Homo-oligomer: A and B are copies of this chain.
């Protein structure tokens, strides 16, 4: 899924989530789908792009740092983060960024 708009016409923030999965599924796909649905329902959510090969990259876009904080602290998201640490990810890095410039083709 590609979302081209975030940051083009007004400032926004990006959360870059880089992860390496374990071999454990145990509800991973279902939770990932639920978290995507939940993120879309959050105030200030602008879009998300995602791909996984050797590593996984998910970049979500948000109107403000406050929106990112509310998403990070949502109880269902916190529970998913805890599962992620315990079983789904061997490592991950989360980077919160301010989008400074956007260029699109075409």
CA distance A73 to B51 in the complex (A): 27
Within 8 A of B (CB), among A77-104: 85, 89, 91-104
Copies of chain A in the complex: 2
Closest chain B residue, CB of each to CB of A54: B1
Q: Is the CB of B98 within 8 A of A103?
A: no
Q: Which residues of A contact B (CB under 8 A)?
A: 1-2, 4, 6-7, 13-14, 16, 18, 20, 49-57, 59, 65, 85, 89, 91-106
> A7 → chain B, closest Cβ, in Å?
6
Q: Give the top 8 A-B pairs by smallest Cβ distance, nearest first.
A: A97-B97, A51-B51, A96-B101, A51-B53, A57-B57, A94-B103, A2-B55, A98-B98
